[in-house]
A and B are shown apart, each in its own frame.
Chain A
Amino acid sequence: MAVPLIFNTIEQTALSTWLRESTSIFGFYFILLFHTVGMSLVVGASAVVDLRILGVAPGLPLRPLKRLFTIMWVGLALNVTTGLFLLTAYPTKALTNPDFYIKMTFIGLAVFTMRKLSIQVFSDTSLDEMAMIAKGKTMAAWSLVFWVGAVSAGRLLSETSKYVLYGHLWGS
C-alpha cells in the first residue's frame, strides 16, 4: 500500500520540521514530557478508582472519588493535544505502524469504560456503596486491562515503526 502523500506534506510544514529538528529543550521532548505527565494523570487517577472498586483501601469513601474523573479528563485532554503535536512531527512513522492503531483502540476502549463508569456508577445517586461496587467491578477490571494495553502499545511504537519519515525506512 502506498504511503499517502499528505504525510509528506505535513512533514514539510514549518511546525513539523521545527518539532523534529529543533535543539531547544522546548521542542519534541518537551511535548513528549507532557504526554508522559498526561498519561500519569489519566491512567494514575483511573487506576486508583479501579483499585478502590476492586477492594483496595476499603475505608476510602467511594462516591467522592467522582472528583478524580476531572483529573482523568484533564490528563486525556493534555494527551490528545500533545499527541496531535507528536503526530504532526512524525505522521508517516505513526500512521504506517499497525501498533499505532492498536494503541488508539485500547485508548478508545479505556475512555469508553471510564465514561461508562462515571455515568452508570458514579452519577447514579440511587446506588449505595455496595451497589456501586457490584455494578462497577467488571468495568474497573477492564479499565485496568485497557490502560495497561494502551501504555504497552505506546511504548512499543518506536520498536515497531517501519518508516522514520516519508520515503525513509528505518536504517536507510
Chain B
Amino acid sequence: MNYAHLHLLLNHFPIIGTIVGLGLFLISFLGKNEDLRRGSYIIFAAIALLSIPTFLSGYGAQLMIKGPGVSDALIQRHQSSALLSLWFMEATGALALAGLWQTQKTPHIPRWNVAAVLIFSLLTTGLMARTGNTGGDIRHPEDQMGQAATSTRDTVTEGTIGSIIRTFEPAPEKFSEAVTFSKWWWTFMMILHFLGLIMIVGTVGLLDIRIMGFMKQFPTAPLHRFLPWAMAGLGVNIVTGLLAFIGLPENYIYSEVFWLKMLALMLLGANAALFYLTDIFAGVERLQAGEDAPMSAKLIAASSLFLWFAVITFGRYIQPLGDTLRPGN
C-alpha cells in the first residue's frame, strides 16, 4: 500500500458520494420526503469526513508520481481543484449537520438550511466532478507507454466553464505561503487547534462517561445539548488542521502516526454513525438521573473516549515521529 493506492482507493467516494447525496436530496423535494432528505444530509456529512483523507492522500500520491513523464501543470490543476472542492465539501457537511441538529427540536429541517445545503451541494458536486476529471488527466506512471507526448505538456487548455472555475481555484503554493508566512499566525492556528480539542473532549467526554455509568446524577438529554460546542470545536480543528497540513505537508505525509490519527478520526465517524443511526441513541437520549444505559451504548461511549485519546496521542507524536515513512528512512 502506498499513497497512490490509498488515493485511488478513496478518491471515488467524494465524487460518487456527492452525486448520490445530491440525487436523494433533489428527489426529497418531489414527495416532500423528510426521511429521504435526512438520509441525503447524513451522506453529505459522511462524505465531508471521508474527503479529508482523500485530499491528504493526494498530496502523498503527488510526491510519489512526480518526475519525468508526468505533467506538473496537470497535477497542479488537479490539486487546486481539489483544494476548492474540499472547502465546499466541508461547508456542505457542516451545514448538513446543523440541519440534522435542528430536527431534534422541530420535525422539519429549517428552510434556510435546506436552501443553503441545496446551493452548496450543487456547487460541491460540480467542483468534485472537475476534480475527478482533472485527476484523471494525470497519467499514472504505469500506463505511460506511448503516451508520454500527451502527458508531459506543461500547459493546460481549458474549456469555458473550466477557465471560469480556474480563476477561483487557489494555487497550492500560494495557499501554503498564506499559512506559513508568519510563525505567529501558525502559533495562533495551533492555539485554536488546542482550544478546539478542549471543547470536544470536555463535552463529548462528559457525555461518554455518563453513558458508561459514571456520574449518573446527570440526565443525558441536557448533556447532549453541549454537542454543538463539540461540533464547533471539531469544525475549528478540521479547518486549522487542514491549513497546517497544506502549509507544511512534508511535516505530515511521512508520519505514520499522522495517518493513524486520521484513521482514528474516521473510526470516530463510524462510531458516531453507529450511535445515531441505530436505535442505540433512542435508548440513551432521555435517561433520567440514576438510570443505567444499555451495554451497547456503553461500548459506543467507551470507544469514543478511547478513540479521542488515540487522536490526542497520535497527534502529539507527529513531531518526533514525523519521518517514519520517508523513503530511505
Contacts and interface: CB of A to CB of B under 8 A. Distances in A.
Given A36-B312, A40-B197, A56-B226, A48 B218 contact: no
Contacts of A32: 316
B101 interface: no
Contacts of B317: 25, 29, 33
Given A57-B222, A59-B219, A155 B194 contact: yes
A151 interface: yes
A48 B226 contact: yes
Interface residues of B, number: 34
B205 interface: yes
Given A59-B219, A61-B289, A159-B184, A44 B202 contact: yes
A51 B184 contact: no
A44 to B, nearest CB: 3
Interface in A152-167: 152, 155-156, 159
B199 interface: yes
A32 B183 CA distance: 21
A151 B225 contact: no
B217 A45 contact: no
B181 to A, nearest CB: 15
Given A33-B317, A48-B206, A57 B223 contact: yes
Contacts of B313: 33
A61 to B, nearest CB: 7
27 contacts: A29-B316, A29-B319, A32-B316, A33-B317, A36-B197, A36-B312, A36-B316, A40-B198, A40-B205, A41-B201, A44-B198, A45-B206, A51-B229, A56-B226, A57-B223, A57-B226, A59-B225, A60-B218, A60-B223, A61-B217, A61-B289, A64-B215, A64-B217, A148-B195, A151-B194, A152-B191, A155-B190
Interface of A: 25, 28-29, 32-33, 36-37, 39-41, 43-45, 47-48, 51, 56-61, 64, 67-68, 148, 151-152, 155-156, 159
Given A29-B320, A48-B206, 14 more contacts: A25-B321, A33-B312, A37-B309, A40-B197, A40-B312, A43-B202, A44-B206, A51-B229, A57-B225, A59-B219, A60-B223, A64-B218, A67-B215, A67-B217
